A and B are shown apart, each in its own frame.
Chain A
Amino acid sequence: MGNPSAENNIARAFKDAGFWTLVAFGLFLPLIGFRAVPDIRNELTLETRWPLLFSFVAIVAVGRLFHNLVIAPWRERRGRRLATRAAVGVPRWRSRFAGVLAPFAVGFALVYPAIAVWLAGPGGAVKWLDNFGIQILIYVMLGFGLNIVVGLAGLLDLGYVAFYAVGAYSYALLAQNFGLSFFMLLPLAGILAAFWGLLLGFPVLRLRGDYLAIVTLAFGEIIRLVLINWVPVTNGYAGVSGVPRPTFFGIPFNASDEGFAAVFGLPYSPIYRLIALYYIILGLALLTSFVTVRLRRLPVGRAWEALREDEIACRSLGINTTNTKLTAFAIGAGFGGFAGAFFAARQGFISPESFTFLESATILSIVVLGGMGSQIGVAIAAVAMIGGTEALRELDVLKQVFGNDFDPTQYRMLLFGFAMVLIMVVRPRGLISTREASVHLSERKKISGALVREGHG
Chain B
Amino acid sequence: MSALLRVEHLTMRFGGLIAVNDLSFTANRGDITALIGPNGAGKTTVFNCITGFYKPSEGRIALAHGAPQMWDELTALTRRDARSITRPDGALFLLERMPDYLVAQRAKVARTFQNIRLFPGMSVLENLLVAQHNPLMTASGYTAFGIFGIGNYDRAERAAIANARHWLDLTALTDRADDPAGDLPYGAQRRLEIARAMCTAPVLLCLDEPAAGLNPRESAELNELVLRIRTDHNVSVLLIEHDMSVVMKISDHVVVLDYGVKIADDVPAAVRDDPKVIAAYLGVEDEEVGQVEAEVGL
Residues on A close to B: CB < 8 A? 291, 294-295, 298-300, 302-303, 305-306, 308-310, 312-321, 327, 435, 437-445, 447-448, 451-453
Contacts and interface: CB of A to CB of B under 8 A. Distances in A.
B209 interface: no
Contacts of A310: 117-119
25 contacts: A294-B146, A295-B147, A298-B136, A299-B133, A299-B136, A302-B130, A302-B133, A303-B133, A305-B122, A315-B101, A317-B200, A318-B102, A319-B134, A321-B101, A327-B143, A439-B126, A439-B157, A441-B174, A445-B179, A447-B121, A447-B122, A447-B123, A451-B121, A451-B182, A453-B121
B101 A318 contact: yes
Contacts of A447: 121-123, 180
B191 interface: no
Given A309-B120, A439-B157, A442-B178, 18 more contacts: A305-B122, A306-B119, A315-B53, A315-B100, A316-B51, A316-B53, A316-B197, A318-B101, A319-B134, A435-B121, A439-B161, A441-B161, A442-B177, A444-B178, A445-B123, A445-B179, A447-B123, A451-B180
A302 B153 contact: no
Contacts of A308: 121
Contacts of A327: 143
A439 B51 contact: no
A298 B133 contact: no
Contacts of B149: 294
A313 B143 contact: no
A300 B53 CA distance: 22
Interface string B104-118: 110000110100011
B130 A306 contact: yes
B104 A313 contact: no
Contacts of A295: 143, 147
B137 interface: yes
Interface string B157-187: 1000100010010000010011110110000
Nearest to A305: B122
Contacts of A440: 123, 125, 177-178
Interface string B192-218: 000011001000000000000000000
A251 to B, nearest CB: 31
A304 B57 CA distance: 32
B121 A302 contact: no
A439 B140 CA distance: 16
B111 A316 contact: yes
A318 B104 contact: yes
B129 interface: yes
Contact of B130 (A303, A320, A321, A451): A303
B133 A451 contact: no
A-B complex: 5 closest residue pairs judged by Cβ atoms = A452-B121, A318-B105, A318-B104, A309-B119, A451-B182
B137 A448 contact: no
Contact of B140 (A298, A320, A445): A298
Contact of B104 (A294, A316, A444, A453): A316
A305 to B, nearest CB: 6
B119 A319 contact: no
Given A299-B140, A316-B111, A453 B118 contact: no
B118 A443 contact: no
Interface residues of B, number: 47
Contacts of B137: 299-300
B152 to A, nearest CB: 13
Nearest to A445: B178
A9 B132 CA distance: 58
Contacts of A321: 101
Residue with the highest number of chain A CB atoms closer than 10 Å, among B101, B117, B120, B143: B101
Given A298-B153, A319-B133, A453 B120 contact: yes
A319 B121 contact: no
A234 to B, nearest CB: 34
A291 B197 CA distance: 30
A313 B118 contact: yes
B247 interface: no
B10 interface: no
A298 B147 contact: yes
Nearest to A306: B130
A442 B180 CA distance: 14
B147 A309 contact: no
Contact of A319 (B101, B110, B122, B161): B101
B144 to A, nearest CB: 10
A312 B117 contact: yes
B131 interface: yes
Contacts of B121: 305, 308-309, 435, 447, 451-453
Contacts of A452: 120-121, 180
B119 A313 contact: yes
B125 A439 contact: yes
B196 A317 contact: yes
A317 B130 contact: yes
A238 to B, nearest CB: 40
Nearest to B139: A299
A51 to B, nearest CB: 51
Contacts of B136: 298-299
Contact of B165 (A438, A441, A453): A441
A444 B180 CA distance: 11
Nearest to B112: A316
